[in-house]
Structure 1
């Protein structure tokens, strides 16, 4: 149960960081 919870948290964090990365890449592309 605990492992499941932590994996869910990790997935949320990954999604957040991935979104941030995509955003920065998009801004870079727009600036170009």
Structure 2
């Protein structure tokens, strides 16, 4: 979970939030 939060915060600097959310849904579907 900590790692996902780090990825989310770091990715937010480079990608649109929707893209990050879509990526996380693929990687971690239960989120």
Q: TM-score, with normalisation over the residues of structure 2?
A: 0.41
Structure having greater relative contact order (Cα 8 Å, sep ≥ 6): 2
Higher helix share: 1
Query: Bigger radius of gyration, 1 or 2?
Result: 1
